[in-house]
Amino acid sequence: KMSWKSIHCYTFYLMNIFFVTSSTIDPIVQTSLGRVQGINAFSRNGRIFYSFRGIPYAMPPIGNLRFKSPHPLKSWNGMYNAQNDAPACLQKNYLFGKSSVEGSEDCLYINIYTPKLGIKTTQYGGQLLPVMVFIHWGGFFTGYSNSNYLGPEYFMDEDVVLVSFNYRLGVLGFLSTYDDASPGNYGLKDQLAALKWVQENIENFGGNRHKVTLFGQSAGGASVHFHMFNPLSKDLFHQGISESGTALALWAKPLGKEQLQIARLQATLVGCKDSLNDTFSLVDCLRHVDAEDLVNSGDNFKYFSIDPLTVYLPSIEKKTKDNPHPFLIKEPMEYILNGDFHHIPWILGTVEDEGIIRAAGLLSQPETRINLNKNFNDLMPNLTALFMSTPKEKIQIVWEKIKNYYFGGENSIDLNNNKTIQGLINLYTDRAFAYSLFQTALLHSHKGHTPLWLYNFKYRGQYSYGELFAASQENINYKWGVCHCDELIYLFKSPAIFPELRDPNDIIISKILISLWTNFATY
């Protein structure tokens, strides 16, 4: 005969078995297209969360679907294995000094991380959680969404659902002929398809589809801004964060008719020169070129070192019968000045030394540095794209004023003179990031866009992306400051790049930044 004490202990034992079992069984979720099975994982503080990686959100953009808007995916039978990272979109990462092509053309996959699944959230009296959808960086030519670069562990200590995804890059994501043959913006249209997928499925992962924060860094931050112009994106997210990038940045400026010239040069580089006079023939020829050859041919667009970094960019489209839903039909500035954008709560900001992203690479390669100094007054106006904002006949006059301001009139970068090194960093910071960001905030505020928040991230921790962007520290006795991308170190665990955070101050900053971003998404 059992005593009450024995019954109580036995019941407690059974409950423990239940909770251990339920937390170790791989989670299964029903999506609109079929069932997916993920894995259990642990947050930074040891909280169990559910990870679903590599779920397809559109048809593979291969074969005849290359250079076309994403096509809806068909449903599947059985269980889809969502336990592993999908390959990144095909790319060549010039920023990390990678000489070979990586990734896959079949790359339209999405990742979901959640501390609560839908059935648990609703059945046990909880509420659906705020959703945070991240768009990765990479200048529209590179970038990764997988867990080795965008690990979710820090966010999963909070009550939010985190989403990341791939989108097409470079020539495969942004080739445009400025007509119906290839309207362009496929990478942005992939992002739109991913946001639609979130609306259709996120409640089954415990997320609130009516409370979606879209955030991104660099090209991802600019993408958030681009979505604010697009009427098809309007109801798919409800607030935004743009880290180190807006649609007014020089490297994000949409191209118009000049895209056709780029497409023709691309065709010439890969053996399609007989199709130059007909855009449909040109695009059809490019569809039959090996995808890696297409990406590799991008080397031929560089005129100095790895510049220009961004060749294929968002483009201005025409609305036609065959292109009824263009992503972008006007210049960003025109949208802003007309007040034609989604008036959502928006955080935007920079880090202190954004310009390290190029300064480090230019100065750390001896041959590149020598060539830069030898041709300083000829190269620098081009490397800072003065032609995009200054009449040709005034470029040298403007450059002399810039040189005096940032370099004290010096005609080279002296590695023994920290002022000239920092001058180069400051010039790139202002030209490529800071000016366009403040211009964006000012113009939006003048059009009654509230609330808006600005930030500047100045913390330099144990690790920095500057160490990656610099080919070598040999002969450079200079400690890089707070580099472009550095805030990502404190938002995402990134074992492919950096060791785990160990410094107590780094951990404190990480928790503060996570708290700021998730509080914005929640309240």
Higher per-residue pLDDT: 265 or 12: 265
Predicted confidence at residue 478, as pLDDT, reads: 86
**Confidence class of residue 155 from pLDDT cuts 50, 70 and 90?**
very high
Distances (CA, A) of 209 to 55, 132, 238: 18, 10, 10
Predicted confidence at residue 22, as pLDDT, reads: 46
- Counting residues of the chain whose pLDDT is more than 90, the rounded percentage is 88
Predicted confidence at residue 98, as pLDDT, reads: 83
**Mean pLDDT lowest for which of 120-129, 378-387, 406-415, 440-449?**
120-129
**Confidence class of residue 473 from pLDDT cuts 50, 70 and 90?**
low
Query: 381-409, pLDDT tens digit by residue?
Result: 999 999 999 999 999 999 999 999 999 99
> 136: closest CA among 217, 57, 190?
217
Q: Angle, to 10 degrees, between the axis of helix 356-364 and the axis of helix 418-429? A: 140
Q: What is the pTM of this model?
A: 0.93
Q: How far apart (Å, rounded) are the C-alpha atoms in residues 448 and 77?
A: 50
Predicted confidence at residue 15, as pLDDT, reads: 38
Q: How far apart (Å, rounded) are the C-alpha atoms in residues 64 and 253?
A: 28
The number of angstroms, rounded, from the C-alpha of 152 to the middle of its chain's C-alpha atoms is 15
**Confidence class of residue 5 from pLDDT cuts 50, 70 and 90?**
very low
Q: Are strands 35-37 and 79-81 parallel, antiparallel or unpaired?
A: parallel
Using DSSP, state whether 128 is helix, strand or coil: coil
What integer is the mean pLDDT of 246-254? Answer: 97
**Confidence class of residue 194 from pLDDT cuts 50, 70 and 90?**
very high
* Dihedral sign (CA 252, 255, 260, 264): negative
Token pair for residue 186?
A: 């496929």
Q: Which residues are catalytic?
A: 218, 354, 484
| Domain locations along the chain | 4-351, 356-452+464-486
Predicted confidence at residue 17, as pLDDT, reads: 34
Q: Which CATH superfamily is domain 4-351 in?
A: Alpha/Beta hydrolase fold, catalytic domain (3.40.50.1820)
Q: How far apart (Å, rounded) are the C-alpha atoms in residues 143 and 121?
A: 33
Question: Could you write out the three-class secondary structure of 231-270?
Answer: HHHHHHCCEEEEECCCCCCHHHCCECCHHHHHHHHHHHHC
Predicted confidence at residue 120, as pLDDT, reads: 52
Query: 306-334, pLDDT tens digit by residue?
Result: 899 999 999 999 999 999 999 999 999 99
**Mean pLDDT lowest for which of 88-102, 277-291, 336-350, 499-513?**
88-102
Query: Average pLDDT over the chain, rounded to whole?
Result: 93
